[in-house]
A and B are shown apart, each in its own frame.
Chain A
Amino acid sequence: MFVATHTPKCHDITRLISESMDHPLPLRTRISMRLHYLICVWCQRYRDQLALLRKALRAGPSQEPEREHALSPDARTRLKVALQPKR
């Protein structure tokens, strides 16, 4: 009960979790977040899931988007024409 009333609400925790991925948070804030996780499995999951997302995006095949996207034959021609040396 103490922890529930003395740590940020879940909505704010989700915002803080996101911010912690972009800049360091003050120690006091980090401690209050850790206390919150003790009583809130959903915010724990949220934290773990954003970490998984980051890991996947930095490591994975999404480095190149769907293979469907490709230069159309027209686009290829346009490019080659544009790159021809001017005489």
Chain B
Amino acid sequence: MNQPEIELSATQAVRSHADPDRWVDEHGDCLYRFALMRVRKEEIAEDLVQETLLVAVRTHEKFGGRSSERSWLVGILKNKICDHFRKLGRETNFTDLEFFSDEHSDRFDGENYWIHERGPSDWKPEGEEAMKRAEFWQTIQTCLAKLPDRVATVFTMREIDDIPSKEICATLNISEANLWVMLHRARMALRQCLEANFFDGQGGARL
């Protein structure tokens, strides 16, 4: 055999072999964070990353490099996360009843109108400009972390992954009415947390 043919064979050999060690090094953290944000438990996130990479090893030849390696792996992970939630929905009552207690009832008067001093403050002039500041994102992360697990899961599915309501309900085996109450509470809590810890303090650290 002359040189070029040997080199070609070597390259083909490399491409057709999955490289899980490298995947763990290059993509492990990203996959782990992606899962952790959505499932909220470290052990589960790690399991899902493992299952994802196992599938990747099995199906690597079909991958063919159409998209980036990372987005391919994230795609597999998304399916694994979805399977996890479907299973959770079958096995547990996913509705977070404790969170239904109205923590914000003290902001409304007896007639259910906002008490003026306790109503939403004005987030302008900063408004959307706040999104350029690191403290804004830190505050959002901290506020998200305060949400109870099941509510956080539902909220991230809807607001970050943009999954339609009906699909969330089908996956988690909950009613639309329950979903909407959970989202309402999550949004109210998040808005309040962001206001108290970012906008009202002009971004000062009061967490």
Contact = CB atoms under 8 A, between A and B. Distances in A.
Contacts of A22: 158, 165, 179-180, 183
A35 interface: no
A11 to B, nearest CB: 4
Interface in B6-55: 20-21, 24-25, 28-30, 32-34, 36-37, 46, 49-50, 53-54
Given A46-B191, A56-B131, A83 B53 contact: yes
Interface residues of A, number: 47
B37 A61 contact: no
Interchain residue pairs A-B with the least CB separation, the first 4: A42-B119, A83-B20, A9-B112, A11-B112
B191 to A, nearest CB: 5
A10 B110 CA distance: 11
Interface string A61-72: 111111101110
A57 B114 contact: no
Given A9-B112, A22-B179, A14 B33 contact: no
Chain B at the A interface: mostly helix, strand, loop or mixed?
helix
Interface string B175-207: 010011001100110110011000000000000
Contacts of B160: 57-58, 62-63
Contacts of A59: 131
Interface residues of B, number: 53
A82 interface: yes
16 contacts: A10-B112, A22-B158, A22-B180, A45-B123, A46-B191, A54-B159, A56-B136, A57-B160, A62-B144, A65-B36, A65-B37, A71-B24, A71-B28, A71-B32, A76-B25, A79-B28
Contacts of A6: none
A69 B32 contact: yes
Nearest to A61: B137
A67 to B, nearest CB: 8
A23 interface: yes
A60 interface: yes
A53 B156 CA distance: 12
